[in-house]
Amino acid sequence: MTEKIKSILETVMDPEIPTLSIVDLGIVTGIISETEGQAHIKLTPTFSGCPALKIMETMVHDKLIEEGYTDVKVHTSFDVQWNSNMISDKGLAALKKHGLAPPPKHDGYFELDVLSDTPCPLCDSRNTTMSTPFGPTLCRSMHYCNNCKNAFEGFKPVG
């Protein structure tokens, strides 16, 4: 039963990145469905201060109600701490499709120097410069591609 819920949640998109589902983003950390109509969902924030999280809770709730679930609970928990490795391969591709440089994979600890040669999502050049590690949302950094001369945003690596 949880597989079915997962496939439903794969149609719920990040409100700020319409190509990326919340499942591929890696923020769905628990699905409980032990009886017919039950769907208890646990989400974890990408960043503690992410204002989209409340919106995503509502989106998940409404979607499951729409799909006929009657006992729907959605809550946020830190018991699994999100990190950028939790974005699926499909999710990484979806980020790029949206024009965002995907975060590099890391093994827990990494130096933020990795941001300085982020591959350009438009032309794949590594000849890029990070303008600032802070962007229009908490999870994004801003870069400039010296090759194709475009400014672009990256999805930040988080350990």
Partner 1 sequence: MEFTDKHVQGLKDLLYKMADDLLIIGHRNSEWTGLGPVLEEDIAFSSMAQDKVGQSLALYEILHQLGESDPDTVAFTRNAPQFHCSQLVELPIGEYDFSLVRHFFFDHAEAIRFDMLATTVVEPLQMVAKKFRGEIKYHTMHADIWMKQLGESEEAKMRMQNSINEVFPFALGMFEPSEFEAELIEAGIFDGEFALREKWLNKVVPLLESFGYTVPNAETIIPEFGGRKGQHTEHLQPLLDEMTEVFAIDPGAEW
Cβ neighbors of 6 (< 8 A, separation 6 or more) are 23, 28, 31
3, 34, 79, 107: which one binds partner 1 (CB under 8 A): 79
* b/e code 72-104 from CB counts within 10 Å (16+ = b): bebebeeeeebbbebbeeebbebbbebebbbbb
Q: Which stretch binds partner 1 (CB under 8 A): 45-53, 59-67, 95-103, 121-129?
A: 45-53
36, 51, 73, 97: which one binds partner 1 (CB under 8 A): 51
β strands within 54-123, DSSP E? 71-76, 100-101
Q: Which stretch binds partner 1 (CB under 8 A): 19-27, 33-41, 91-99, 132-140?
A: 132-140
| Structure token digits, residue 93 | 């591709």
82, 91, 102, 145: which one binds partner 1 (CB under 8 A): 82
Residue 93 or 158 having the CB closest to partner 1: 158
Give the CA count within 13 Å in the CB-facing half-sphere of 114: 17
Asked if 75 touches partner 1 (CB under 8 A), the answer is: no
To partner 1, the closest distance from the beta carbon of 59 in angstroms equals 18
Asked if 49 touches partner 1 (CB under 8 A), the answer is: yes
15, 47, 104, 123: which one binds partner 1 (CB under 8 A): 47
- The residue ranges that bind partner 1 (CB under 8 A) are 45, 47-51, 78-79, 81-83, 112, 131-136, 138, 142, 156, 158-159
